[in-house]
């Protein structure tokens, strides 16, 4: 849930690096997403989900540290402190809670945070990629500034559940803890550290969440024609309408028409096409 960032005028090398980075991160999270879908399709349960995508999740979530470097070096216009806190909150959850505490792997918080993270990151990195290329499809913009309303609370709820489910195992095993007396004359109780992180969610999450709403309102108030967007969006939707419409016409004769996925898909396409035609966003 990294804060929105914009790119400033960059050197060709910096821009090429950012494009490669965002494309790679998009692809990586797509792989994670496919792994999640494949797991639920085969097993119909969230148990074992973490092991299914463990290596990919560890790698690509850790790779988000580059975003701190981008902000610190000025390659992107983003608050360094806010970016650092957001990146390390995720990295901390992965390496400090989920990975070392096996008892957390099959709990309910894992599918919640993984689904939320995956969809959010695919859309976010895709959005940044298109911004760097100078053309941002309407659908990507809409998804970026609409789905967060559900995905952010879902992800945070999953993170808090994971922390909560780790507390007893961490306390019992005294993981990452050091007690007096010892040669360093220093003590730390990791169980208490985890408990201490929970209030920070309630302090900082509302700030980020409502900041995204402010960004959304600011964007919605703009004339969308100012966005670097090509006409490919509408042409793609027109083609989909052309392909799906005959199938939808057959669905009209079905008693379960409104429960039909084809009918719903067609209605969604027409809705988006009308929005694009008049450049209107609710």
Q: What is the DSSP string of the chain?
A: -PPP-EE-S--HHHHHHHHHHHHHHHHHHHHHHHHHHHHHHHHSSSTTHHHHHHHHHHHHHHGGGHHHHHHHHTSEE--HHHHHHHHHHHHHHIIIIITT-GGGTTSTHHHHHHHHHHHHHHHHHHHHHHHHHT---HHHHHHHTTTHHHHHHHHHHHHHHHHHHHHHHHHHHTTT-B-SS-TT---B-HHHHHHHHHHHHHHHHHHHHHHHHHHHHHHHHS-GGGS---THHHHHHHHHHHHHHHHHHHHTTSTTGGG-HHHHHHHHHHHHHHHHHHT---
Residue 189 has pLDDT above 80, yes or no: yes
Please report which confidence band the pLDDT of residue 65 belongs to, taking 50, 70 and 90 as the band edges: very high
Residue 42 has pLDDT above 80, yes or no: yes
Residue 194 has pLDDT above 50, yes or no: yes
Answer for the pair 114, 57: CB distance below 8 angstroms, yes or no. Answer: yes
Q: 230 vs 275, which has greater pLDDT? A: 275
pLDDT recorded at residue 204: 87
Query: Among 54, 152, 164, 209, which one carries the catalytic annotation?
Result: 152
Question: 67 an active-site residue?
Answer: no
Q: Whole-number mean pLDDT of the chain?
A: 82
Q: Is the model's pTM score more than 0.95?
A: no
Please report which confidence band the pLDDT of residue 79 belongs to, taking 50, 70 and 90 as the band edges: confident
Rounded to whole angstroms, the Cα distance separating 106 from 165 reads 10
Of these ranges, 179-183, 204-208, 217-221, 242-246, the one predicted with the greatest mean pLDDT is 204-208
Residue 273 has pLDDT above 80, yes or no: no
pLDDT recorded at residue 269: 52
Question: 209 an active-site residue?
Answer: no
Q: 72 vs 261, which has greater pLDDT? A: 72
Average pLDDT over residues 90-94: 96
Q: What is the DSSP string of 152-165?
A: HHHHHHHHHHHHHH
Average pLDDT over residues 69-91: 90
Residue 10 has pLDDT above 80, yes or no: no
Residues 36/39/43/49 CA torsion (nearest 10 deg):
-70
* % pLDDT > 90, the chain: 56
Residue 265 has pLDDT above 70, yes or no: no
Residue 246 has pLDDT above 70, yes or no: no
pLDDT recorded at residue 219: 80
Residue 66 has pLDDT above 50, yes or no: yes
Residue 2 has pLDDT above 70, yes or no: no
pLDDT tens, residue by residue, 102-132? 999 999 999 999 999 999 999 999 999 999 9
Query: Among 121, 128, 159, 263, which one carries the catalytic annotation?
Result: 159
Residue 267 has pLDDT above 70, yes or no: no
- Burial of 173: CB neighbours in 10 Å, binned 0-12, 13-18, 19+: middle
Rounded to whole angstroms, the Cα distance separating 181 from 89 reads 31
């Amino acid at each position: 849930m990294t804060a929105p960032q914009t790119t400033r005028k960059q050197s060709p090398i910096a821009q090429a690096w950012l494009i490669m980075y965002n494309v790679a991160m998009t692809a990586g999270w797509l792989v994670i997403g496919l792994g999640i879908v494949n797991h639920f399709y085969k097993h119909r349960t969230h148990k074992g989900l973490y092991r299914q995508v463990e290596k990919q999740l560890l790698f690509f979530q850790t790779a988000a540290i580059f975003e701190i470097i981008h902000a610190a070096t000025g390659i992107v216009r983003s608050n360094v402190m806010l970016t650092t806190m957001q990146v390390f909150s995720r990295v901390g959850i992965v390496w400090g809670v989920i990975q070392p505490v096996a008892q957390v792997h099959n709990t309910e918080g894992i599918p919640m945070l993984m689904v939320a993270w995956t969809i959010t990151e695919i859309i976010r990195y895709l959005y940044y990629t298109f911004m760097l290329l100078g053309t941002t499809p309407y659908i990507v913009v809409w998804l970026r500034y609409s789905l967060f309303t559900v995905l952010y609370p879902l992800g945070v709820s999953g993170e808090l559940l994971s922390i909560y489910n780790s507390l007893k195992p961490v306390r019992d095993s005294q993981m990452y803890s050091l007690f007096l007396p010892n040669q360093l004359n220093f003590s730390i109780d990791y169980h208490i550290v985890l408990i201490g992180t929970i209030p920070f969610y309630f302090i900082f999450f509302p700030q980020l969440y409502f900041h995204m709403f402010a960004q959304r309102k600011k964007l919605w108030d703009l004339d969308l024609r100012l966005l670097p967007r090509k006409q490919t969006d509408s042409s793609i939707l027109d083609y989909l309408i052309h392909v799906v419409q005959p199938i939808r016409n057959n669905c009209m004769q079905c008693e379960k028409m409104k429960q039909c996925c084809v009918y719903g898909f067609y209605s969604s396409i027409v809705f988006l096409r009308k929005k694009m035609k008049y450049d209107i966003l609710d």
